[in-house]
Amino acid sequence: MKKNYNPKPEMTRKEALAVVHKVYEAQGFRIFREDATEEEKALQEQIHTAFRILDVAFHGEGARYFSTGLCSFCYLRLSHGFQVRIKGDSMRLMRPCCPGCQEHLQTEQKLERAEDWEGKEVMP
Ligand SMILES: [Zn+2]
């Protein structure tokens, strides 16, 4: 007789999507190389649309736009317009960041700058 009629899923749908975002962040540059194949060029066009569709499906309309969309550290929560810059980031990018990750990065003293949705600095 089966015992587990309703087993706990290995991961939620949001966690599964976060894994795909992180793999893309780590390896996605491969499809953008100069000698990209035709198939990779097609993927370059499609990947951001594909992520937007999935982000909105799992996280709602707030995930539609980069600046208010998913946190670019955990990819599990919306940034609600908060952005941070990490110390030593050679590109000096402001990246969407959820409150949980911001607190974590602050504790680890990795934050160079944090801004709210109006672009006002919110560093301690
Ligand atoms: Zn986060």
Angle between helices 13-27 and 38-59 (to 10 degrees): 150
**Do residues 124 and 112 touch, judged by C-beta distance below 8 A?**
no
Does position 124 have pLDDT exceeding 60, yes or no?
A: no
Predicted structure pTM score: 0.83
Helical (H) or strand (E) element with 88: none
Task: Categorize the per-residue pLDDT at 85 as very low, low, confident or very high, splitting at 50, 70 and 90.
Answer: very high
Q: How much distance in Å is there from the Cα of 103 to the middle of ligand 1?
A: 9
pLDDT tens digits, one per residue of 64-77: 987 889 999 999 99
Does position 2 have pLDDT exceeding 90, yes or no?
A: no
Full DSSP string of 18-82: HHHHHHHHHHGGGGGSTT--HHHHHHHHHHHHHHHHHHHHHH-GGGGSTTTSB-TTTSSSB-TT-
- The residues facing 95 across adjacent strands are 84
Query: 33 vs 20, 40, 49, CA distance in Å?
Result: 20, 9, 19
Q: How much distance in Å is there from the Cα of 94 to the middle of ligand 1?
A: 14
Higher pLDDT, 16 or 91: 16
Q: How much distance in Å is there from the Cα of 99 to the middle of ligand 1?
A: 7
Angstrom distance (rounded) from CA 18 to CA 100: 15
